[in-house]
Structure 1
Amino acid sequence: MGHVGIQTTKLEESVFDATQLLGLRETERTSDAVYLAAANVHHELVYIESDVDGVDSFGFVARDGDALREIRRRVEQENLPIISEKPRGAGIEDGFSFVGPEGFVFEVYVGMQENQAAQLSFGPDRYGHFNFHPRDVTGMMKFLQRVLDFRLSDVIGDDFAYFMRCNPDHHGIALVKGQGTLHHHAWQAQSIVDLGKLGDRLNRLGRELIWGPVRHGAGHNIAAYFVETSGAVVELYTDLEQIYDDSRPPVIWGEDENWWNMWSSYRPTDFRNFGLAPVESPARMAVLR
């Protein structure tokens, strides 16, 4: 997993949320973008100043140069438009970007710079995963398998939700059938104590968690969520299941089973209403036509 890019109409407020609430550090600033990270890399989150709030891109790290070229070949076979033959932002040696299903931009790259900037007194260990809501959830799942080699960890219902992994983490991407939006980006914390401290920081500003802490069934992680300035949801989690057997068959859940919170059957009715659509562009609109 590489990074999430978000276009925001309120750049400084978005950076405040990332640094003062979540605990990321700013690693670079350009004329229209701010790069942030938790791990010792150049960026795991990018905010781009814009006149709209929306998803700019999802970033993925290829294993090596050969893998990067193989993914490039697969993208060509899928007849998906390439929008850049080189990295679109700072801090990356080599890569390319393309418009995938439903207009989401995918960036695949190698050679991200390291960054050893001073840590804040709090914050997550690293970026872990994102959750989005494609209209054609099964089609998106198959695309991620074909092009990026993601594997299934859990399946919920029939054509409803899939949890997929590209490393030992139970999921790097969670897909839930919806209206074509990013719901949340998620960050690994040290312990459940960090989730409580996030709630305290929100409370001091008159804001609040929208859900959690909860213990999920799919992935087993403990999680808490808040809404950032752009309209996307941010998850802080700990204790995520690790899967080291690539051949492990997916766990199958019924859509109506309580796979979302093992501690309670309560789920906020408006939880899935938050999120961001991809930012419109000529290449994206060509895919959707």
Structure 2
Amino acid sequence: MSNQQIQKVRVKRLVHIGLWASDVQAQARFYHRVLGFDLYTHADGSLEQHLEEEDAAIFLALGEEMHALSIFNDTRVFPTNGRRPVVRSTLHHLSFAVDTDAELAAMAARLQMSGIELSFEPRDGAPDLGDALWLNDPDGNRVEISVMPDELYTAISSNRKTRRALLRPYGLQHVALKTSRLEEMVEFYTESLGFDISDWLLRERAWLRCNNDHHSLILSEGQTGIEHVGFTIADGSELLGWADYLSHQQVPLLWGPGHHGVGDDLFLQFPDSDGLHIELSAGLSQYYDRDVTTPPRLWHTRETALNLWGAIPSWLREESHV
């Protein structure tokens, strides 16, 4: 394997996200009943039957063969000084993919050259598909890198669209993380995993891409944890349909409908049953050549970057630092 191959390798897509949940059953039912997720399992039985299993992780998919979410029972024990409650991140892990076994080996070599500790362990939710590469980012978030060829992803995407139920997201689009070490995290994901920077906002928020999508990862200053998870939907008309549907489901809208300046997509956000913010996104900007690196676009005002239609929620303004 040449040094050039090692330096050129990069992750190609965000495959799934693992979440800690205070109530696995409640979370799984929310994603199934409200968002239309299906149970992903090799075993027989319905979602309700699997929810009866205490402490079992639940893997959920959007009609395709690979899961987009895995939900784990939060049994973590955190020390406390008795004065302030410890804020727990609900992020269990992130999962990215490369195309081939050779690329996975090159990625391992690249990470080892950077002095990053890693291990090969079974894939989350799919141990029969071979081992994955596991490591930690600078914030200690667990990161999985596995093999998922373009052909498999394309077949899954096509199959997903033909089987799609009414008002079900097309797929996982991005994850937004908060971090107290923004520059270090941006450097890790660009230099170690091969992401490119699409946009910067005031050096307090960065949008990173690893394929044609404008972003698969957002990093922003704040207390370490997950800010929101984004899913793709069809268009603006469907977004309004979601707003009506969520109101009938008694799920409050936290932000939107709106129009991001960064990424140029229409969006809305709402909480899941554990309070994690979910974003639905329509019309995200695309790069025609995912392998071409271009200088990031710089934004100097939050209003135009975050919502061209004006409204920015108070919780987002308070978390930002100028």
TM-score by length of 1: 0.85
8 Å contact kept, 1:127–1:188 = yes
Say whether 1:78 aligns with 2:78. Answer: no
Who is 2:5 aligned against? none
Q: 1:22 aligns with which of 15, 24, 35?
A: 35
Taking a change above 3 Å as real, the CA distance of residues 73 and 231 of structure 1, as seen in their structure-2 partners, is: farther
Pick one of 184, 204, 217 that aligns with 1:139: 184
Mapping for residues 1-289 of structure 1, pairs under 5 Å: 1-28=14-41, 32-38=56-62, 40-51=64-75, 54-82=90-118, 84-90=120-126, 92-111=129-148, 119-158=164-203, 160-245=204-289, 246-256=292-302, 258-264=304-310, 266-271=311-316
Residue type matched to 1:251 in 2?
R
Partner secondary structure for residue 60 of structure 1: strand
Compute the displacement of 1:39 (Å): 5.8
Distance in 1 between the 2:317 and 2:111 partners? 30
Deviation at 1:256, TM superposition (A): 4.5
Which structure is higher in helix share?
2
Specify the structure having the higher radius of gyration (Cα): 2
- CA distance 1:10–1:83, shift in 2 (3 Å): farther
User: Counterpart amino acid of 2:242?
Assistant: L
Quickly say closer, same or farther: Cα 1:11–1:107, change in 2 above 3 A: same
Contact 1:24 1:120 in 2 (8 A): no
How many Å apart are 1:84 and its aligned residue?
4.7
Secondary structure of the residue aligned to 2:306 is: coil
8 A contact 1:23–1:123 mirrored in 2: yes
Amino acid at match of 1:6: L
Higher mean displacement: 10-19 or 255-264: 255-264
Identity of aligned residues (%): 24
Cα distance change, pair 169–203 in 1 and its aligned pair in 2 (3 A): same
Gaps in structure 2 of 5+ consecutive residues: 1-13, 42-46, 77-87
Alpha-carbon shift at residue 271 of structure 1 (Å): 4.0
Q: Which has the higher contact order (CA 8 A, sep 6+)?
A: 1
- 1:16 CA displacement: 2.2
Task: Report the AA paired with residue 153 of structure 1.
Answer: S
Secondary structure of 1:121's counterpart equals coil
What is the number of residues matched between the two proteins? 272
Specify every segment of 5 or more residues in structure 1 that has no aligned partner in the other structure, as ranges: 275-289
Q: Counterparts of 1:271 and 1:39 in 2: how far apart (Å)? A: 33
CA–CA distance in structure 1, aligned partners of residues 225 and 318 of structure 2? 10
Give, in whole Å, the separation in 2 of the partners of 1:77 and 1:86: 23
